Amino acid sequence: MKLSDVVAQHGFQPSDLGEIHNAKLYQRENPDGALELLCVQKIGNVMKVNHIALLQMMGMMLPMNEPLDQIVPKEQVEGFLNTILTQPSG
């Protein structure tokens, strides 16, 4: 399944907040006001996955949890994303 389809199943959409070389940036807004950012970057035969939930307050974005920074084999990235994105963070 395509990466964009996997993350769309969990409510993530492409983000226009920035660009990262060889990466896709996605975002999801949760009912509690949290903005989740997900970055999936191809590095050779592996994928680097970064995920964080942010609280938007008074024009600032504050982290709500520890960010995830994980290297995942390319063939395992779909299952990994399905596991970590099942529940909204925050």
pLDDT tens per residue, range 42-54: 999 999 999 999 9
pLDDT in tens, 27-78: 999 888 889 999 999 999 999 999 999 998 888 888 888 999 999 999 999 9
Q: What are the domain boundaries of the chain?
A: 3-65
- pTM of whole model > 0.85? yes
DSSP state, 74? G
pLDDT for 60 equals 86
Distance of alpha carbon 82 from alpha carbon 1, whole angstroms: 12
Query: What would the pLDDT profile of 3-20 be if each residue is shown by its tens digit?
Result: 899 999 999 999 998 888
Residue 65 has φ and ψ, to the nearest 5°, of: -155, 175
